Structure 1
């Protein structure tokens, strides 16, 4: 079976992109493929914002990702540099905001971590 790294570049508010990526990864693991990493870049870093909320009539794609990653043991990585520009920080990264606002199940990483996943994957899928 193939190992796959997934790159997402659209915000969760553009839910159809993220939801399509989620359904792709869900189908891939159901067929026995391994997801090496899901990397959120650009506006997609907002997936990792614990303070953001969906309206009651919308599906929360952030939680879908958290559940899928937890059940199938793959990392949800948001680009740390882009996230910091958007005010999304991990606990302890800023002196005045020690609790951070990075959602559980996500972690901040760099392009080196992403490139390592790409280099060791059979496929890269971009959404």
Structure 2
């Protein structure tokens, strides 16, 4: 089965994001399921802020998502309008300048709701956290 995972919870409400990560890991471990992509939307777009700081006692869920993405070759998409609402910008896209300045983490790809809807059409299951 092909899954699309949508995360709308903030990086600070860690329970939903951890549940999504554990669910995604379980799908991959079964080896009969495939995750099309992981889409961060609404408050979930805050996961893409590279300047987030976590105390030692807190879980750095953003880093865990990045490691999961790299290990399993799954793209992390984030909604462009949600990024702007959260104050996260990529200067390359926003100002059309060739610079790496901005607070968007390089492991997240700017995407649109159109991309999400196309992925949902190609998926057998969609799960939202």
The TM-score normalised by the length of structure 1 is: 0.93
What are structure 2's unaligned runs of at least 5 residues?
Answer: none
- The answer to whether the 8 A contact 1:9-1:42 is kept is yes
> Which residue of the partner structure matches residue 52 of structure 2?
52
> Which residue of the partner structure matches residue 100 of structure 1?
102
Runs of 4+ aligned structure 1 residues displaced above 3 Å come to none
The alignment of Structure 1 onto Structure 2 pairs a total of residues equal to 126
- Comparing both structures, which one devotes a greater share of its residues to helix? 2
Q: CA RMSD in A?
A: 1.6
Matches within 5 A, 1:32-71: 32=31, 33-71=33-71
Q: What does the per-residue CA deviation read over 1:98-117, in whole Å, with 9 as the maximum and x for residues that have no partner?
A: 41211131111000111111
Q: What does the per-residue CA deviation read over 1:39-74, in whole Å, with 9 as the maximum and x for residues that have no partner?
A: 111111000000111111111111111111111111
What are structure 1's unaligned runs of at least 5 residues?
Answer: none
The TM-score normalised by the length of structure 2 is: 0.91
